[in-house]
């Protein structure tokens, strides 16, 4: 069962290559796979731009009943890069925070989260077709898929970015 779940999520994570993540030079690849408990698996996905790979560490606190209270993921990657964290989670969080951008908005569907963008976009073209001006876009967020117990998090990368996932405290 656990092997099947890991395999299914691995396929899902590899499928993130189609996620919109910053232009034609960015591709998504799995850089770390960690089992964090009997019921949770984490995949850290990095939008690679040739600037190095992402690394991560993990810690979790639990309620007396053994259910997650919060989970902290510390990641390091290229500054201002588009990053995806994919978690197998036993329940939906109440909040997801990043220490470099604050609370991340919750999205109502995987499709809407898939439309988010992090990176530089051209905002003004010159007459020769080259870009005169760029603007940094930071559309972060998260979505919990209750049918598969998977949490998708899109966040801005950088050195020592801490992602905190807070779960309901009434369990």
Domain ranges of the chain: 2-166
Which residues touch 171 (CB under 8 Å, ≥6 apart)? 63, 65, 67, 91
How many CB atoms sit inside 10 A of residue 31's CB? 18
Cα(1)–Cα(6) distance, rounded to whole angstroms?
Answer: 9
DSSP character at residue 106: B
pTM of model > 0.75: no
* pLDDT at position 27: 32
Sequential pLDDT tens for the chain (171 residues)? 333 333 233 323 333 333 333 333 333 333 333 333 333 444 444 444 444 445 566 676 766 666 667 888 898 889 999 999 998 887 899 999 999 999 999 999 999 999 999 999 999 999 999 999 999 999 999 999 999 999 999 999 999 999 999 988 765
* pLDDT at position 55: 56
* pLDDT at position 38: 32
* pLDDT at position 90: 79
């Amino acid at each position: 069962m656990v092997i099947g779940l890991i395999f299914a999520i691995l396929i899902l994570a590899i499928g993130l290559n189609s996620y919109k993540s910053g232009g034609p030079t960015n591709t998504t690849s799995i850089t770390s796979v960690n089992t964090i408990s009997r019921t949770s698996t984490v995949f850290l996905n990095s939008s690679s731009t040739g600037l190095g790979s992402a690394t991560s560490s993990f810690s979790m606190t639990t309620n007396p009943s053994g259910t997650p209270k919060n989970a902290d993921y510390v990641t390091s990657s290229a500054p201002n890069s588009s990053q995806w964290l994919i978690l197998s989670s036993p329940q939906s969080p109440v909040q997801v925070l990043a220490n470099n951008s604050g609370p991340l908005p919750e999205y109502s569907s995987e499709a809407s989260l898939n439309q988010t963008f992090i990176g530089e976009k051209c905002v003004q073209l010159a007459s020769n077709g080259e870009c005169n001006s760029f603007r940094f876009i930071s559309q972060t967020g998260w979505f919990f898929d209750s049918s598969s117990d998977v949490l998708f998090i899109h966040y801005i990368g950088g050195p020592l970015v801490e992602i905190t996932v807070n779960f309901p405290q009434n369990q």
